[in-house]
Structure 1
């Protein structure tokens, strides 16, 4: 048996859509991107959607749009992929890391303690696909204390009049919060369409705008589309229509537009997401929980509660009362049986760049605790019943054996 961790979903529908893009003679930003944006709006019910070439570039653009600069602070969880912090650093600002709760999402109480007059934004990460506690976060942001601390230094900041809430929804397309699309729970939601995500465009991302009513969403969409194309007021598709060659550069923009040939992949997947791809992930997650829950060492991931339902992007298996070293041994043995597993994530303060920048994992004890016992299991539509049975057997056999040996070793040391 040889089971991959997260291969992209490529069926005949995807191939047909990509071939259609190739045969059209138009492969950079054009009609396929527009169609993908429309499908995302249909799925999320957002006010506007702007496709870009990655989550990271989209986040950088939105921080710049809000006027984030050197001297500003952006609150983020310590337990996330490095891009959550790097987008802040690329704007010259300081990522202020805080700890997480046991469900792997950012701790609202830690956010409250971290807010200062320098705080301009919060990036809340829907880790593994589970939405954060957005009502709690928004209550903090809109409190009198937070509003009084907020210092507006750009036109967008003055208009909003408070801290900006961005959802790092790299994992959570299709997740729900309070019975609605989770994308509606923040001012700005940014999806990733990287190769391993629930929906992929090979590389790519999408920004969903759900700003308050006093923002002109059409105006913001138009600005961001121009800004994402070097600040150029006409894209190549528009210029290709005879007589439209003359263009202007309106802003000091970025070059982060999504190509049509990439959008075609995501477009074909998104059209079957709610009907097939997302339910398939959910079934696998439920099977894992059902068959692993009989073991006392199994810590069930937070997948659904009275306010939230995950997108089932990652199945974060956590094992009770083990060390990081024992977790690593368990991973090695599972991989030796032909099952590729992963870890999501190494907390950022443990990574060389951030550690050398002064971040200390000791300040984020729950981030380390959750990381040290976490193993991400394969979860994707291509897994068969035989595959998932094999994965569960491999995990159970290895964990049982390793924990039994660890117990025997502990007893021998006591004697």
Structure 2
């Protein structure tokens, strides 16, 4: 049996939206993007939403919007995809990498220790769809002694008057905190619509803002839209609909807009997300947990507690007392049966770029431990009961076979 890891969900609703775009004769940024932004604004209960061509572009945009530059510092977790750090580097700033807690979220304790007068932002990462404790992070950055450290150097920094809190919400569309959209708890949430995400536009992303009342959401939306189109005052859709050809360039923007043909895919999925797609992902996760919980090696991933609930983007299976090498053997066994599996993520300090920049994995024991025993299993709406049962049976037999081979629990070493 061949089981893909994360195929996109393409049904007739998606096809209809795409065909509508193609038949309209307009495929770049236009009405579909506007509609997707409105849908995202509603889903996340945000003040404004701006679609872009990738999560990375959205992060670079928001860091630049805040005036982050060479000499500034942005605190990020070690346990994340490289784009979190690359967005900081592309702005000329320094990623200050800190360790994470056992739930994979950025450690508040390490954040406090990492804050300096150079700190301009924190990017917290919702791994696998599990939202960070943004209330705790907000409390930290609003402490009088922390705000006193903040050195405002750009117009936006002077308005905010403190560290900017960004949620790397690439995995967490639909996640909640206190039964509200998780995006309500950060200043900015940036979502990914990459092909493997819960909602996809093939490639793309969306910035959702919930800034304090000292900012005007409509003005920030307009400014960010201009920024995605090279700082141009009039987009092509406006000009084509009688807006005239004359335009101006107000500032040095970026060219990172999302086209309508991509937005159409996301619209077709997003309209069914809360009622259909998200519950189907939750169902798969529940079956996995119910099936694995009888195994003494099973570490249940964080999916729901009294305050938070995941978006069920990944099912991060973790196995007690195994080494990285044993984990890899288990994955090899699973994949030999036709089941595609993955690992999320290789911690940043283990990657060549960051090793060359001087980061050392030995300084991030929690991130390494979480990585070393993690296996991401397929979790998506199209999985049949037969496929789910096959995955469960294969995983259990593969794990047991490797553990039996080694007998004694292996020590995790950095």
Task: Return the TM-score normalized by structure 2.
Answer: 0.98
Q: Determine whether 1:39 maps to 2:29.
A: no
CA–CA separation in structure 2 for the residues paired with 1:409 and 1:286: 28
Give the superposition deviation at 1:359: 0.5
Q: What's 1:133 paired with?
A: 133
Q: What's 1:312 paired with?
A: 312
Give the superposition deviation at 1:151: 0.5
Give the superposition deviation at 1:179: 1.7
Q: What's 1:93 paired with?
A: 93
Q: What's 1:215 paired with?
A: 215
Deviation sequence 1:291-346 (CA, Å, 0-9, x none): 00000000000000111000000000000000000000110010001100000000
Q: What's 2:164 paired with?
A: 164
Unaligned runs of 5+ in 2: none
Q: What's 2:302 paired with?
A: 302
Q: What's 2:247 paired with?
A: 247
Q: What's 1:413 paired with?
A: none
On the 8 A contact 2:322/2:409 being kept in 1, the answer is no
Q: Label 1:321 to 1:409 Cα distance change in 2 as closer, same or farther (>3 A).
A: closer
SS in 1 for 2:225: helix
Give the superposition deviation at 1:242: 3.0
Q: Determine whether 1:201 maps to 2:201.
A: yes
CA–CA separation in structure 2 for the residues paired with 1:101 and 1:185: 19
On the 8 A contact 2:32/2:260 being kept in 1, the answer is yes
CA–CA separation in structure 2 for the residues paired with 1:408 and 1:133: 36
Q: Determine whether 1:59 maps to 2:53.
A: no
Q: What's 1:28 paired with?
A: 28
CA–CA separation in structure 2 for the residues paired with 1:251 and 1:2: 51
CA–CA separation in structure 2 for the residues paired with 1:265 and 1:402: 42
Q: What's 1:375 paired with?
A: 375
Q: What's 1:6 paired with?
A: 6
Q: What's 2:104 paired with?
A: 104
Q: Which moved more, 1:316-325 or 1:144-153?
A: 144-153
SS in 2 for 1:242: helix
Q: What's 1:343 paired with?
A: 343
Give the superposition deviation at 1:153: 0.5
SS in 2 for 1:124: strand
SS in 2 for 1:241: helix
CA–CA separation in structure 2 for the residues paired with 1:76 and 1:381: 31
SS in 1 for 2:166: strand
CA–CA separation in structure 2 for the residues paired with 1:242 and 1:175: 41
CA–CA separation in structure 2 for the residues paired with 1:409 and 1:146: 43
SS in 1 for 2:331: helix
Q: What's 1:328 paired with?
A: 328
Q: What's 2:363 paired with?
A: 363
On the 8 A contact 2:13/2:268 being kept in 1, the answer is yes
Give the superposition deviation at 1:408: 6.9
Superposition RMSD in Å: 0.9
Q: What's 2:228 paired with?
A: 228
Give the superposition deviation at 1:409: 10
Give the superposition deviation at 1:247: 0.7
Give the superposition deviation at 1:145: 1.6
Q: Label 1:226 to 1:398 Cα distance change in 2 as closer, same or farther (>3 A).
A: same
CA–CA separation in structure 2 for the residues paired with 1:175 and 1:347: 23
CA–CA separation in structure 1 for the residues paired with 2:370 and 2:134: 21
**What pairs with 1:395-410 in structure 2 (closer than 5 Å)?**
395-407=395-407
On the 8 A contact 2:232/2:248 being kept in 1, the answer is yes
Q: Determine whether 1:192 maps to 2:195.
A: no
Unaligned runs of 5+ in 1: 411-415
Q: Which moved more, 1:238-247 or 1:248-257?
A: 238-247
On the 8 A contact 2:321/2:409 being kept in 1, the answer is no
Q: What's 2:384 paired with?
A: 384
Give the superposition deviation at 1:221: 0.6
Q: Which moved more, 1:39-48 or 1:263-272?
A: 39-48
Q: Determine whether 1:177 maps to 2:177.
A: yes
CA–CA separation in structure 2 for the residues paired with 1:212 and 1:148: 18
